[in-house]
Structure 1
Amino acid sequence: MAEAPFTVEVNHSFNPIEKAWSPEIFIKLYTAALDTGFLAAISDRDWKTLCVIALHMDADGHCYPSLLTIARALGVNKSTASSRIQALLQFRWQGQPVVQAMRERRADGTSGRQVYTILPLTPLSFGRRTPDPVRVSTSSRNPELAASSRFTKLDASKLGNPERNNKIPKQQKPLGKQDPKNAPFRQNAEPTVTSSQASSGHAVGGVVAYLQDHLRQAGMRTFPRQWIPRAERRVRQMFEDGLTAGDLTALIDWCLVHPFWRNKITSMDKVADLVGEWQLQGRGTHHGTGVSPSAEAGRHDDSGALDALVVRTDASATV
């Protein structure tokens, strides 16, 4: 199982004296940061900037520190802080960005705050679980409050009736001799988790990041605040319709080289609207090879960051 080099955890602690919840943020560094070479790859300045941004995370996993706040935390001026933020945004780990920045758009159309999101660092995979880099949990410092919380999880109706607890359970026939329709339900049986369920979250994020990186290269610099959530919903809908992550990356390639549609693609909704046309045209195959023109050209790209995502997706889908 692949493990993330670090995680950011947001805990909410209840103070019974002040009767208020207070958030606490922890950055946990794992031995995987050494084993995978993450600490060797990231510079001291990028790691320090990453910690400052992560310590301003809210319960939804978004960070809203202003440029002045980051500059004060780093002990530098705003110009130096801006250059360090840009350096962190350009840093790639295993071909994927670590931090994503997006400018909010106000109702009047003007630009708002800069929103930072720490992205998953584990490789895109199918058929295995990977840890979520942002975990939000709730804890209590008051032992009595914690004990009360645990007590509410018990079945209070059974605690007050000793006779019900002392009943001798009826002996069941061996499961092998029972009719499957009459077999008792095993409450403690572990639920079955399919490979698609285990990896769907990372597959969705990978497809969204793939389109967003392509749009940035095409010159799109700002994204609305709801751009990523809307894109993730459309990707999940296309997964439910039977498309795979490899299909969607090929669809994106086809859209971005189409002579008519390439200048009109600004969101995942536009991509989803072209699924039917893409399928009618043979899923965007190029000279019968099954590879889109941009994917072929991407093989010779020096960066290799976006092509790595396609290779990981196609290779994992065959597992």
Structure 2
Amino acid sequence: MPASLVMRTQEPHHSVFVTSRTEGNPYATGCRFTLNEKLYCYGVLQRGGELTVEDATCDPDWVDNDDMEHGMRFYIGYPLKWPDGTVFGTICVLDTRRNRRALLFREGLQEFARVIEADLELLIEIDRRITLESELQATLDQLEHRVASRTADLEEANAALRVLLSSVETSREEYDAKILRQIKGLVIPHLSKLHGRLTRDPAGRAYLELAEDNLKSITSDMSGQLTTVFEALTPTEQEIAQLIMRGQTTKDIARTLSREPSTIEFHRNNIRAKLGLKRSGQNLRSLLLSIQ
């Protein structure tokens, strides 16, 4: 065949997209025609299927077609379509004579048309993926921008929070120092004077010493662990626990609180149970002093 072509249709034009490198081929790539009823390929597109013209000189419909300018009186063509069914163009072969052998290869030409359409489908898929990748990249860029913006906001907020916490810590230290000065200046001196007046009152001295010890604990930043332990005890148990820490026995505590030793022992057992010392054999005073 002197001419084998893949034609590209972009109305109103019909142009040579790929052309064979055969001797006597008058159609160069890019050669363009205006679609009209005198073009073989126009007949293919109108039919939507195969067009075979064995000899245009004997066919009144094609005797004066535009390709007769090059003496192309023999033609076989098939449409080429995009995956969505729209027209891409045509694939065709042309000859200056009636080519009976070419008629035997029409199925092969038609199969080749299907191969080209498969390639067109692949091109669409590649384009779709490129578009999706572009959209994905744009989304990633937006997310990165948002993350960077949020990170900057968080860093700014953290800086402000650090300044605020530093200010709060400074204020707390100043407040603690003020309370400490007031206790030492306004409370401790009076407690010292009470010692001389309670020489004959053991219970009163015990309560006074408890008050002094508690003030010392407050002013020396009593550990949070002991505070947590005392929160689990009743007020009476807290009182007894503090006397135990001072080294007083059950009888001493009973005299101090004007209670029966059995009552004090009952509370001691409750304290041991709450601290997990029941049947452990561990010394209660030692535990309390260890977490002070």
TM-score when normalising by structure 1: 0.17
Higher helix proportion, which one?
2
Higher relative contact order (CA 8 A, sep 6+): 1
Rg larger for: 2
